[in-house]
Amino acid sequence: MKRRSARPFGSLLTAALLAVSAGCTQHKPLGESIFHDGRGEHGRLAFAQGPKWLAHGAFGCATCHAPDGTGRTVRAGKISGSAPSITAGALLAKGYDRQLLRRALAQGTSPDGRLLNGYMPRWSMTDAEFTALADFMAGL
């Protein structure tokens, strides 16, 4: 009771967000769900390459690139990979636009045509999923 009355706007906001998402099966907005949990419109996103453990839980971009997108070193047993920063500023500096981002996610190609390390999964996404993800990442 005490917490509730102390944060009336939080409750109102939650109610509003629940109302907005009532028609969807997602609890989080789509872009956020993909980034943090690897879950798209119809459950877990399909991907090729990448480490096998990725298929065993709710893992998304944040698992390797950190929740704020600034990147980190990921270890799986003896294998480790360095996941770079993918904040909006970092991607802009590397020459990414939306089209090139989509190509990197699907085909693993950087703006200058370099093939990304196999630790970075190749993701299958619908147009709606990519748009939601790119919109979310624009805020990182």
Residues forming contacts to ligand HEC in the complex (CB under 6 A) are 34, 50-51, 54, 59-61, 63-65, 74, 81-84, 86, 94, 101, 104-105, 110, 116-117, 119-121, 123
By DSSP bridging, strand 79-83 and strand 72-76 are antiparallel
Which residue's CB is nearer to ligand HEC, number 23 or number 46? Answer: 46
Which residue's CB is nearer to ligand HEC, number 21 or number 71? Answer: 71
Residue 28 CB, shortest distance to ligand HEC, in Å, is 14
Amino acid 123 reads: W
Which residue's CB is nearer to ligand HEC, number 15 or number 111? Answer: 111
Residue 74 CB, shortest distance to ligand HEC, in Å, is 5
Is residue 19 within 8 Å of residue 107, measured between CB atoms? no
> Which of 72, 90, 79 is CA-nearest to residue 140?
90
Distance (Å, whole) CA 102 – CA 122: 10
